[in-house]
Amino acid sequence: MNRDAAITAVKGIGEKTAALFGKLKIETVGDLLAHYPRDYVQFPVAKEPSELSEGETAAVIGRVLKTPLVRQTQRMPVTMTTVGDADAPLELVWFRMPYIRSQLAPGGTYVFYGKVMKKNGRLVMEQPVIYKREQYAAMEQAFLPVYALTGGITNNQITKAVRTVFAGDPLFPDPLPAEIRNECRLCEYNYALRQIHFPDDMDTLITARKRLVFDEFFFFILNMQYHKEKRVRDANEFELKNETFVDELMQRLPFALTGAQQRALSEIRCDMRGPYTMQRLIQGDVGSGKTILAFLAMADASHSGYQSAIMAPTEVLARQHYATFRQLCEDFGLKIPVVLLTGSMTARQKRMAYESLQLYPNAMIVGTHALIQEKAVYDNLALVITDEQHRFGVRQRETFAAKGCHPHILVMSATPIPRTLAIILYGDLDISVVDEVPAKRLPVKNCVVHTGYRPKAYSFLEQEVRAGHQAYVICPLVEAVEHMDLENTTDYVKKLREIFPPEIQLGLLHGQMKPEQKNKVMEAFLANEVQVLVSTTVVEVGVNVPNATVMMIENAERFGLAQLHQLRGRVGRGDAQSYCIMVNASQSRTAEERLLILNRSNDGFEIAAADLKLRGPGDFFGIRQSGELQFALGDIYQDAAVLRDASDRVQRLLAEDPELVSPEHVNVKRYMERAAQEQENQLSL
């Protein structure tokens, strides 16, 4: 099957389903295969009824002694039977499924799969799924893929579609030359694709993943280096006046800049007045105060009559920057027009924003990807900034820069990575590190707890809210997912509604909501109209609500430490003492130990390094270090060795064949271009 074939070419996918797949950005067969599982499940080993405990989701072997009983209650038929012996009975109950009765032969042994509950002192499974014994035995071995979903599409549908593709003709040519593959000990491409979706076992999964991660890194670095070789440094054509202006603003800030902020700022100001245009990365841990640097650099440009623009990865963050910048201009009495441009604005609002771009040659422009769309035409753009850069591709950065005439480029990232890796990943940029957080801030108090602690946590949240503060509660899932025993925002908010008194307003925020809805919720939270925000990790980047003092993270064991660190960075931003409650729902000792690392350190670099030491190969799945979208599979921390390999191999390849013209490299070049394109398409707001 051709990877560019439309998804409708897959048997069983019609226009309607294709439209749903479209929502997941799956348009072609290639997209479908690149929609890697986000996790895998293995069915639990089937137990005896005596081994069950309350609350677990389990598979149980049971012999059905008598034909099940069907009771006709007023509301519905209820089918019931009991398995196990007198010492350890397990009641099985099905609602509205009277036909179950004829499915279970008396004397037959089956496996029942479901959640174990206690009712009237007895263990009960409601609506268990029924399997024949042999059928379940086969399932116990397999890894089943769990895919990211969207409304209307089930995990089964995706699984089936992927299986159908693999059942067809052999697939794609391997993008890596055999030479590189052999040298770096990587498996074949189609094998890797198949195994990443349907692994035979853990070993093949690791092998497959390594290959695909290598590809991601390799083509990413190649794309960057290939273009870098061709780029000459641009002369700085902008004339900035009056150095003292920024100094004056600094004097009037309500706080003194940290030493690290001052160093970074002077590097920026120096670049902007240097012979070549600036190409700089500001790398600074969460809460190190990067936004104010962006503002001062933009004000500097404005003061000299130039436009500047800052692009944020989410609507929420863009709107927040917009509000901050307007406030700062007002506080400073600056007459700088601040313009907002985001995807969710109405056509009319957008038109007005476009007009402002033409009207104000010294505007500060704040927005999302909408800033780099065709219709946004700038006048006099001297500085472009991308905030939380790791969410954007290199190409996007270039598209952004192309909106001006060789503007200064500033990139801000909170990803705590060691300098050596930063040089690989941002090879084309100069780097400033903001390695200090404002001193007067109180460090966040952390605790790692088990689920039994929840009632206490809720009353603590309530107490904080009564004291005028706000709280975040983070869940890994948006909605319940079959077979995954993880908390989800939708049910969680309902649960909290019953627990908290009605005067506490709750908000719900997740990535599947429409941008306008998200904005509304976030604005309500900012205005303290919502006190407790139940959210997925969409709040992970950049959001700044200094009044929030509690970050409660459910299923903390499922998040990477760097990601937890980012989440924790959402509190501790104001003067009040803040708290981070990490709920570990697993029994695993390693999970506990990992989480305790966060207790010991507030330093992103240290955390990432300590985390790596604790991991085994099996931990690669289901845990992601950070919410970075840049790589579908690769994780710059845990795959640091692969990253270095890929980087070395790129250097050698380009040294041998800088134009990638030799016959065995033509394919590589083609794939590099398509990977860059795909990466861009996958980036979402």
Chain residues binding ligand ADP by CB under 6 A are: 255, 257-258, 261, 284, 286-292, 414, 438, 542, 544, 546, 573
Residue 284 interacting entry, from Mg ion, ligand ADP, none, C-beta within 5 to 8 Å by type? ligand ADP
- With H, G, I as helix, E, B as strand and everything else as coil, classify residue 678: helix
Mask: binding to Mg ion, 501-540, rule CB under 5 A, as x and -? Answer: ----------------------------------------
How many CB atoms within 10 Å of residue 468?
Answer: 11
Residue 82 interacting entry, from Mg ion, ligand ADP, none, C-beta within 5 to 8 Å by type? none
The radius of gyration computed from the CA coordinates of the chain, to the nearest angstrom, equals 28
Both structure tokens of 365: 């422009």
Min CB(475)–Mg ion separation in Å: 23
Q: Residue 89 or 546: which CB sits closer to ligand ADP?
A: 546
Min CB(441)–ligand ADP separation in Å: 7
Min CB(685)–Mg ion separation in Å: 17
Distance CA 498, CA 501 (A): 8
Q: Which of 62, 289, 542, 572 binds Mg ion (CB under 5 A)?
A: 542
Q: Using CA atoms in the order 661, 666, 672, 674, what is the torsion angle rounded to 10 degrees? A: 130
Indicate whether 604 belongs to the interface with Mg ion (CB under 5 A): no
Min CB(526)–ligand ADP separation in Å: 12
- The half-sphere exposure of 606 on its side-chain side, counting CA atoms within 13 A, is 9
Closest CA to 371 of 412, 395, 403, 409: 403
Residue 286 interacting entry, from ligand ADP, Mg ion, none, C-beta within 5 to 8 Å by type? ligand ADP
Both structure tokens of 262: 């001052």
| 631: CB partners within 8 A, 6+ apart | 213, 216, 217, 220
What type of residue is 494?
A: K
Q: Residue 264 or 382: which CB sits closer to ligand ADP?
A: 264
Q: Residue 431 or 449: which CB sits closer to ligand ADP?
A: 431
Min CB(573)–ligand ADP separation in Å: 5
Min CB(455)–ligand ADP separation in Å: 32
Both structure tokens of 509: 């925020």
Min CB(594)–ligand ADP separation in Å: 23
Q: Which residue is nearest to ligand ADP (CB)?
A: 289
Residue 305 interacting entry, from ligand ADP, Mg ion, none, C-beta within 5 to 8 Å by type? none
Q: Which residue is nearest to Mg ion (CB)?
A: 542
Q: Residue 199 or 560: which CB sits closer to ligand ADP?
A: 560
User: Do the beta carbons of residue 293 and residue 261 sit within 8 Å?
Assistant: yes
Q: Residue 257 or 318: which CB sits closer to ligand ADP?
A: 257
Angle at 210 (CA atoms; ends 208, 215), nearest 5 degrees: 100
Question: DSSP string spanning 508-568?
Answer: EE-TTS-HHHHHHHHHHHHTTS-SEEEE-GGGSSS---TTEEEEEETTGGGS-HHHHHHHH
At which residue do the structure tokens 């092998």 appear? 207
Min CB(274)–ligand ADP separation in Å: 25
Min CB(321)–Mg ion separation in Å: 8
Min CB(290)–Mg ion separation in Å: 5
Length reported for the chain: 685
Q: Residue 353 or 434: which CB sits closer to ligand ADP?
A: 434
Q: Residue 284 or 313: which CB sits closer to ligand ADP?
A: 284
Q: What is the DSSP letter of 391?
A: G
Q: Residue 145 or 416: which CB sits closer to ligand ADP?
A: 416
Residue 62 interacting entry, from ligand ADP, Mg ion, none, C-beta within 5 to 8 Å by type? none
Closest CA to 608 of 440, 419, 423: 419
Min CB(527)–ligand ADP separation in Å: 16
Residue 544 interacting entry, from Mg ion, ligand ADP, none, C-beta within 5 to 8 Å by type? ligand ADP
Q: Residue 46 or 571: which CB sits closer to ligand ADP?
A: 571
Q: Residue 393 or 542: which CB sits closer to Mg ion?
A: 542
- What is the tally of helices (H) and strands (E) in the chain? 23, 22
Min CB(414)–ligand ADP separation in Å: 6
Q: Residue 177 or 438: which CB sits closer to ligand ADP?
A: 438
Q: In what order do the strands lie in the sheet with 430-434?
A: 338-341, 364-367, 307-311, 381-387, 408-413, 279-284, 430-434
Q: Residue 331 or 516: which CB sits closer to ligand ADP?
A: 331
Question: DSSP string spanning 296-328?
Answer: HHHHHHHHTT-EEEEE-SSHHHHHHHHHHHHHH
Closest CA to 289 of 412, 397, 408: 412
Both structure tokens of 453: 């602690």
Residue 507 interacting entry, from Mg ion, ligand ADP, none, C-beta within 5 to 8 Å by type? none
Min CB(384)–Mg ion separation in Å: 16
* Helix H or strand E encompassing 580: strand 579-583
Q: Residue 17 or 324: which CB sits closer to Mg ion?
A: 324
Min CB(291)–ligand ADP separation in Å: 3
Residue 573 interacting entry, from ligand ADP, Mg ion, none, C-beta within 5 to 8 Å by type? ligand ADP
Both structure tokens of 546: 């200094």
Region near Mg ion per CB under 5 A, out of 69-77, 82-90, 346-354, 541-549: 541-549
Closest CA to 290 of 364, 386, 423, 404: 386
Residue 77 interacting entry, from ligand ADP, Mg ion, none, C-beta within 5 to 8 Å by type? none
How many CB atoms within 10 Å of residue 276?
Answer: 13
Q: Residue 147 or 525: which CB sits closer to ligand ADP?
A: 525
User: Do the beta carbons of residue 676 and residue 219 sit within 8 Å?
Assistant: yes
Residues in the interface with Mg ion (CB under 5 A) total 1
| 397: CB partners within 8 A, 6+ apart | 386, 389, 409, 411
**CA distances (Å), 460 to each of 255, 530, 532, 550, 556, in order?**
31, 17, 12, 9, 18
- With H, G, I as helix, E, B as strand and everything else as coil, classify residue 598: helix
What type of residue is 240?
A: L
Min CB(153)–ligand ADP separation in Å: 35
Q: Residue 293 or 465: which CB sits closer to Mg ion?
A: 293
Site residues (vs Mg ion, CB under 5 A): 542
